[in-house]
Amino acid sequence: MSKQPEQPEQPGQTEKLESGDRHLLIVGFTTRLITGMTPDPSKLEPPERYKDPAVIERWRKEHTEKLADKLLMQPYSATFETVVIHARGETNTWTYRDPLAKTGYRLPVALSVWHWLKNLWTPCPWPHESPPRWPNGQSPAVLAGFDIRLFTKIMAMECNKPANQPRNRDGSIRNDAQATLPSSFWFGTSVNRDMESIALINDSEFKEIDWPMVLKHHELTDEFKDWQGPHKNAVLDVALAVRLIDANGMIGEFKTEEDIR
């Protein structure tokens, strides 16, 4: 997979979608907390049996850290730190930049990613209609990655919140559905491929399967010795997803087979 400059605004060339085409986009991402979404530790009420101020302080600290870990994995409280997408034989990376920084890309990561995605092909694979009417009844673009449903939902909440909406000259929000993220990208869709499902992780029938077991089975333990689990390193997530998708025979159905391996 080739590495391209960060923050691509447009794909190199918009391609025409031919009837029957199916493309696979492999996604990796890390998250960060949105400012103001973490509760004030001083307002967390400890169990009544705790009386010692030092014990209460320690409980509040530990509880806040545990809560922050959960908030990092849900819409509204989390946004993207980094997004990596492998598509059409190229790997592109978007990284959060402090909006107060004097240099660097200013758009939120989610908006940058969507601006890039919607221009990959024409017509756009994610129409502004629900349910979507796709050629041959199937989506021409399929997303794959760890927690891919979470990726699409964070994309939706970030792209469609008021602060990120296009504005008229008078400052009012532009009433233009075409400017928002289509519901076909994220709502009620089952076309995407989640790595946890592919690897049988969190399967209600096989509760003892974990990632070390999966890596060992596919003889990937040494190759991915630096991989610490999903959403720690988006580049490694994408690389591992490619290997697992290939190993499970899920690449051949896509037009981009030669670009993925």
- Tokens 């402090």 found at: 98
In a domain, 231, yes or no: no
Write phi, then psi, for 56 (nearest 5 degrees): -65, -45
The structural domain count of the chain equals 1
Q: Which domain holds residue 119?
A: 2-37+76-195
In a domain, 57, yes or no: no
Residue 4 corresponds to which tokens in the numbers above? Answer: 């391209």
**What mean pLDDT do residues 67-81 have?**
91
- Tokens 């990655």 found at: 145
> Quick one: pLDDT at residue 3?
42
Q: With helix as H, strand as E and coil as C, how does 12-77 read?
A: CCCEECCCCCCEEEEEEEEEEECCCCCCCHHHCCCCCCCCCHHHHHHHHHHHHHHHHHHHCCCCCC
Q: Which helix (H) or strand (E) holds 90?
A: strand 90-95
In a domain, 242, yes or no: no
In a domain, 166, yes or no: yes
> Using 50, 70 and 90 to split pLDDT, how confident is the model at 74?
very high
Amino acid at 227: W
In a domain, 240, yes or no: no
**What mean pLDDT do residues 112-123 have?**
88
- DSSP-derived 3-state class of residue 154: helix
Q: Is the predicted pLDDT of residue 2 greater than 60, yes or no?
A: no
In a domain, 255, yes or no: no
3-29: pLDDT as tens digits: 444 555 555 677 887 767 788 999 999
192-251: pLDDT as tens digits: 999 999 999 877 788 899 999 999 999 999 999 999 999 999 999 999 999 999 888 877
38-49: pLDDT as tens digits: 777 777 788 888
What residues pair up with 50 in beta bridges, in sequence order? none
> Using 50, 70 and 90 to split pLDDT, how confident is the model at 145?
very high
In a domain, 58, yes or no: no
How many whole angstroms separate alpha carbon 217 and alpha carbon 165? 46
In a domain, 99, yes or no: yes
